[in-house]
Each structure stands twice: as structure tokens, then as C-alpha cells.
Structure 1
Amino acid sequence: MDWRVLQNRWRLMLAVNVAVIIGVFLHKIALPPYVPYIHLLVDYHFGFIKRALIGALVSLITAKVPVWLVFALGGAAWLVTLALFVGLFRRTFGFDEKHLPLFVFMAGSPFFLKNFMHTLGHFDIYGCLVAILLLLVPARSILFVLLAMLCAIILVLIHHIHLLMYVPTIAVIVVVRYYLVEGVNRLNVSVGILAALGLGTLFMAAQFYGTVPVPEADFLGYLQGRMADPSRTDLLSFGYIWYQPLSKEIQDTWARMPSNILGVPVFALLIWLHAPLWRYFAATLRALAHEWQRRLIIAALIGVSLGYLVMFAMVFDYSRWISNWAVCMFLILHAIKTLPALQSVPPIATGDRRTTILGWIVTLIPRVGIVRPF
């Protein structure tokens, strides 16, 4: 088959992905932003509480929060994430024609940018943005570890669940880009241990001591005072999450388990649709020059996945968790590519018929969702 025909096929997929993302955006802005909006209202007015950093930053800019700010801030974060990812992919793989299928399976995945568009305003994307940033900045000194620690602190203050969602991936990036290159010594090991202990302490404080210390009616009254349109009291319906203990979240998750577990086969199918990407991932692992590094990466992948398994048992937003897990795998692949390899890894086959079919299916799926598939 003519090379230009094959080339245009994958370029067409990218164009269709752009159209799908625009469609998802138009659908998203027509929906009420219940959870994202209330997060912009909550700040530290009543003292240290969980999930309040973004709202506190917004309060420094404006006393009254309009609904459109959810889409403005979320859209800005999405665009920055897109730009950083394009830069990262260019540096790791390049944008030559042979790597177009890999870019389609990553950037066009319903797990990634399309689902971040569907969850516009949620906090997930900030973890992804930080991880990409840490894959791009220089990692030649202990300052890189300190930067990663600072970013992880910010993420936990945005939402403490980031400790399981993106902080483990950030730790993998730090280990791969800094410790495996620079080696270990007393200073950098001490800094790493202190960072882990500090983050664990901050998580415990947010989880168990971050509830609002005033009656819920007073809390909601304060939030209503920060609304640009106080009549939209329906947007305050999720105020209870600042009072709900972990035990209640787990209880609700397991109560929904019989129905939510029905989505697992769909998630498995969505993961399988990315088979060419996973085969490339496995080949990249096999090509590593050092066996001990290969084993370390496998252990890290298991560790990151276990964090998501814990989230599955605690909070029922399954579609978001599985989507972010896949994104973490994409980003870890970029980190692995910085390690020395015995041989180059052949790119995903451009002209393979099965790969092309899977590419089109992945392209046409608009998103994964928040709780249940789609």
C-alpha cells in the first residue's frame, strides 16, 4: 500500500480525535458542574480543611465565584496539559511518521485527554500535569527531588486522594530520572525518606482532621455567600463530602459494588483495545540494558496499580480511577525510555490491519466517564 495512504490514515485519526474532543467539550459545558464548582468555593476560612487549596487560591482573586470559572480554569489546565504532553512526546519519541500510531493510542485514548475533557474542573488532571512537568524539567540535582516533593504537597492539598492517584507515579518518575541516574547517597536518601514521611503525615491530617469544624448549615451559608449567583443552591448539594468520614465513603462504595462491578468487563475491553501500545510497553521493558532496572520498574508498576486497587475499595468513581491508571502507565513509559537499552524497540506497525482497526475504535470512543463506563 502507498506510504502516503498509510500516513494519512493515522493523521485522519488525529483529526477525528480533535472533532471528538470538541464534541465532548460542547456536551460538558451544557452540564451542571456540581462537584467542580463547589471546590472553587471552599477555602481555609474555617481553618485547615481538606480539598480547599484551589478554592483558597480563587478567593485571592475574586470574592464572588461565577460558574463559568469552572470551565475557564479547567480548560486552561487541559490546554496546558495538552501542550506539555505534546512537548514530552516530541522529546521522547519524536513526531516522525512511524510514531504516529503510538501518539494516537496515547493522546487519542478515551482514558486520557478526552476523559479529562469530560471531567473538566475535577482535580485529576492536576496530578497528570505535574507528572508531565517532572518528566520535562532537568533532574540533575537534589533540587529535582525537592521540586517533586513540593508538587506532591500541592496535589495532596488540592485533594488528598492524589496520594494514591498520582503521587506514586511521581515517585516512580523521581526514582527513574534521578536516583537511577545519579545514584544514592546519604543526603538524597534522607531527603526522599523525609518527603515520604511528610506526605504521609499531610495525608493523614487531611483525611482525619480536615473536616469542617462548624455545622453544615453554617458552612453552606458561607459558600452561598461566595457564589456569584446565590440562587443556585443546587450547586451546593455536594457540601456533605467535607463532613463524610472515610468509613462512610467505604460503606457507600461497597453498597454500590454489585452494580458498579458490572463495568469491569467494559474496562477490561477498553484496556485490551490499547493492545499495540501495551506490546510496545512490554518490548521497551525487555529492551532495558539492566535486569535489575527491569525488575524495579515491574515492582513500581505493581505498586502504582495497588494504589488504584485501594481507591477502588474506598471511592466508587471507577471510570475516573481506571482512566487515570492508564494515564499513569503512559507517563511511566516515557520515564522508562530515558533508561539505557540494549537495542531500539520497533515502533507500532503503521500498516498492520488489526492495529489500524483498534486505532479507529480508540479514536471514536469519546470518553470513559466518571463512575460507570460511558
Structure 2
Amino acid sequence: MDLRVRENPWRLMLAVNAVILIGVFLHKIALPPYVPYIHLLVDYHFGFTKRALIGAAVSLFSREVPVWLVFALGGAVWLITAGLFITLFRRTFGLGEKHTPLFVFMAGSPFFLKNFMHTLGHFDIYGCAFAIGLLMVPARSIAFVLLAALASMILILIHHIHLLMYVPTIAVIVVLRYYLVQGFDRRNSAIGIAALFCVGLLFFAAQVLGTMAVPEAEFVRYLASRMADPSRTELLSFSFIWYQPLSKEISDTWGRMPSNLLGVPVFALLIWLHAPLWRYFADLIRSLTEDLHRRVIIASIVTVSAAYLIMFAIVFDYSRWISNWVVCLFLILHAVKALPGSQAVPPLSGNDRKTTILGWIVTLIPRVGIVRPF
């Protein structure tokens, strides 16, 4: 056994990641789900409301919402997302020994599944799941563009911040999987532009018209009526976010900026720990046959990164945003791998000492966090 572990420690890393995931889950369910729970209570009772789609869906099946549903629903979505990613990785690279190091750096990254477990109940993971789905379905007709637009609109109804968080990555997936293959003609370009317009229009409707119109006291009373245990009033303490204007969110973010910037070196270090993966990504881009494809991919990464920079200036959950940005790069890497290349790119070496050390460090970090690192 010791000899097999020494010869291939990457399988042991996968086992350690599984144990850490269980530990993160047990820690998570012991914490009060302030933000995730209240989102399950909010529906369209008072008219069109932002961040209300999941709560409205829950209300179709249950009038009273127990606290455990946060973890049950969040856990189910996490399992679906993990299953989708494993399936996607198998389709793109295969699950053989030679690609196990790459799988460890992705699936075992503290930015990805482990952090989604730590943020269980938050809605970031829905964007990831939808993007993975769009990497797996056929992209041979304009129906793919319409499906991506529908997915983006659903995400905005779940939480309008998805316009910056996962919708840009979905747009990149559409460009790489459909437009670079099928080309840009008048018809599919017009449909793509119209789809972007509809997604943007829905976002502005959610931002402007989705603000709660009734007094907050009345809103809180309604939410309490949907609680399975109305005595837990502390779980309604975040009701103000349905009344808080964008200007207040920006003001709070910049007020916290000095302390939040202290975490930037930690984020930079965590990103550097994935250096073998980033080198592989760069090699994939350099190996592409078409120079146009390389330019589009670089522009796509810049666009996705710019969307996250805007988000950093608006909302202060920096650990979540950094983590989701890295996940978006993981997903774009899968789309790039499907493009025609002029030469084969060697997989990450499982025998390289530095790569192995970095793999162990990435494995042993349990998660990144929500606001500040760890």
C-alpha cells in the first residue's frame, strides 16, 4: 500500500479531498444559514421581486419552510454539480491516470467544490451548474444560443448578480462552442444580439422593478408566516437586502475596502498554487490551430475578469467572487480543449516533485471562504 501511494499519490489526494468535503459539510450544517434561509422564504407574493425564483419554486411544494431544507436543497444541487463536472471532465480529458493530476487541481481546488460546500445554500453554484450543462449539450444549431439565453435569464431571476458572475462565462461558452464553429452570419448574429438584449433587459427589470414595494415590517411578517419555526426570528435579520439600494451596497463595499484588500496577497498565493494548471491552460491556448481562436479566448478571459472587477467594486464578498472567477476559468479551459489544435499538449506530470507538492497543498486547503480568506 505504501509503495502504491508513493508511486501515485494523486489517488490519495482524491481520497483526502473527499474526507475534507465531509468535514466542511459537517461544519456548515452546524452554522445558522442566515442568508440562504431567507432566500427560500421570499417569493412573488408582493409582485415581481428580485432574488425570489428559488423561494417561489419552494412555495409550490411547501407552505412552511424548515431550516433543514437549506442544506437538503443546497446539498442536492452540490451533488448534481459535482456529478456534472465529473462527467464533463471525463468527456473532455478522460478519467485515466495521466489526467488525475489535472482533475485534482480542478475538482480538489479550494476555490471549487470545497468552497461551494462552504457556501452551501448560496446561489453561486446554480450558475456553475448551468454553465457545465451548456458545455455538455450539443451546440450544432441556433437553439443552443436560445438555451444559453434562457439559462442566463433563469440565473438572473435566481439572483441578479449572476449577470456579472456567470452570464459572461455562459456567453463565452456560446461563442467558443457555437459561433467559432458555425461562423457569424446575419441570422445567428441577430439572434445572439437579441438574446443579449433580452438578458440585459431582464437584469434592469430585476434591479429597478424587483425592489420590495411594501414596508419592511409587513415583508418580515409575511416571511415569518412561511417559517416552520417562527420563533427563530434571527434568521430574518437579512430582510434589509431587499430594500438596500445599489448605492448603499457600493458604499458598504468601499467602506470595507481597506480591510478586504489585506486578503489580496492570500488570494494571489492561492491562485499561484494552481500554477501547473495555468501553464497547461496557456499551452492549450498556444496549441490552437487558428490565431483568431487564440485572440477570442484571450478577449473572453479579459471580459470575464472585467465583470468580476466590477463586482468587486459593488459587493464585498471577495472570497466568493475570487472563487467563482477561478471556476469560470476552469470551465473556459474545457471549452478551449474542444477547439482544434495544431499539436497535442502533454498532460500535467504526476511525477514532477513541484507539481506533486502543490497538489498536496491545494488538496489540504479546505476552502477559501465567503468574505475574507478562510
Code of the aligned partner of 2:34: Y
Structure 2: which 5+ residue stretches go unaligned? none
Are residues 1:362 and 2:362 paired? yes
Q: Distance in 1 between matches of 2:317 and 2:155?
A: 18
- Once the two structures are TM-superposed, the CA of residue 210 in structure 1 deviates from its matched residue by 1.1
Are residues 1:239 and 2:248 paired? no
Equivalent residue number for residue 332 of structure 2: 332
Equivalent residue number for residue 188 of structure 1: 188
SS in 2 for 1:229: coil
Are the equivalent residues in 1 in contact too, given 2:135–2:335 (CA < 8 A)?
yes
Equivalent residue number for residue 87 of structure 1: 87
- Once the two structures are TM-superposed, the CA of residue 8 in structure 1 deviates from its matched residue by 3.1
SS in 2 for 1:255: helix
Are the equivalent residues in 1 in contact too, given 2:5–2:12 (CA < 8 A)?
no
Q: Distance in 2 between matches of 1:144 and 1:176?
A: 12
Equivalent residue number for residue 307 of structure 2: 307
Are the equivalent residues in 1 in contact too, given 2:44–2:56 (CA < 8 A)?
yes
Alignment of 1:107-186 (within 5 A): 107-186=107-186
Report the identity percentage: 75
Equivalent residue number for residue 76 of structure 2: 76
Equivalent residue number for residue 46 of structure 1: 46
Alignment of 1:254-333 (within 5 A): 254-333=254-333
Deviations along 1:156-203, one digit per CA (max 9) or x if unpaired, are: 000000000000000000111111111122221111101111111111
Deviations along 1:253-312, one digit per CA (max 9) or x if unpaired, are: 000001111000000000000000000000000000011110110000000000000000
SS in 1 for 2:30: coil
- Once the two structures are TM-superposed, the CA of residue 7 in structure 1 deviates from its matched residue by 5.2
Quickly say closer, same or farther: Cα 1:21–1:117, change in 2 above 3 A.
Answer: same
Code of the aligned partner of 1:266: V
Deviations along 1:85-105, one digit per CA (max 9) or x if unpaired, are: 000000000011110000000
Code of the aligned partner of 2:255: A
Equivalent residue number for residue 14 of structure 1: 14
SS in 2 for 1:70: helix
Are the equivalent residues in 2 in contact too, given 1:7–1:97 (CA < 8 A)?
no
Equivalent residue number for residue 348 of structure 2: 348
Deviations along 1:210-246, one digit per CA (max 9) or x if unpaired, are: 1100000000000000000000100000000000000
Quickly say closer, same or farther: Cα 1:307–1:37, change in 2 above 3 A.
Answer: same
Are the equivalent residues in 1 in contact too, given 2:8–2:350 (CA < 8 A)?
no
SS in 1 for 2:297: helix
Q: Distance in 1 between matches of 2:51 and 2:13?
A: 38
Across the aligned residues of Structure 1 and Structure 2, the Cα RMSD in angstroms comes to 1.1
Structure 1: which 5+ residue stretches go unaligned? none
Are the equivalent residues in 1 in contact too, given 2:66–2:228 (CA < 8 A)?
yes
Are residues 1:217 and 2:217 paired? yes
Code of the aligned partner of 2:116: F
Code of the aligned partner of 1:341: G
SS in 2 for 1:154: helix
Are the equivalent residues in 2 in contact too, given 1:6–1:351 (CA < 8 A)?
no
SS in 1 for 2:94: coil
Q: Distance in 2 between matches of 1:165 and 1:3?
A: 44
Q: How high is the TM-score relative to the length of structure 2?
A: 0.98
Q: Distance in 1 between matches of 2:258 and 2:174?
A: 38
Code of the aligned partner of 2:98: K
SS in 2 for 1:132: helix
Are residues 1:106 and 2:116 paired? no
Code of the aligned partner of 2:336: I
Are the equivalent residues in 2 in contact too, given 1:38–1:239 (CA < 8 A)?
yes
Count of aligned residue pairs for this structure pair = 373
SS in 2 for 1:51: coil
Q: Distance in 1 between matches of 2:180 and 2:322?
A: 28
SS in 2 for 1:241: helix
Are the equivalent residues in 2 in contact too, given 1:6–1:350 (CA < 8 A)?
no
- Once the two structures are TM-superposed, the CA of residue 143 in structure 1 deviates from its matched residue by 0.8
Q: How high is the TM-score relative to the length of structure 1?
A: 0.98
SS in 2 for 1:48: coil
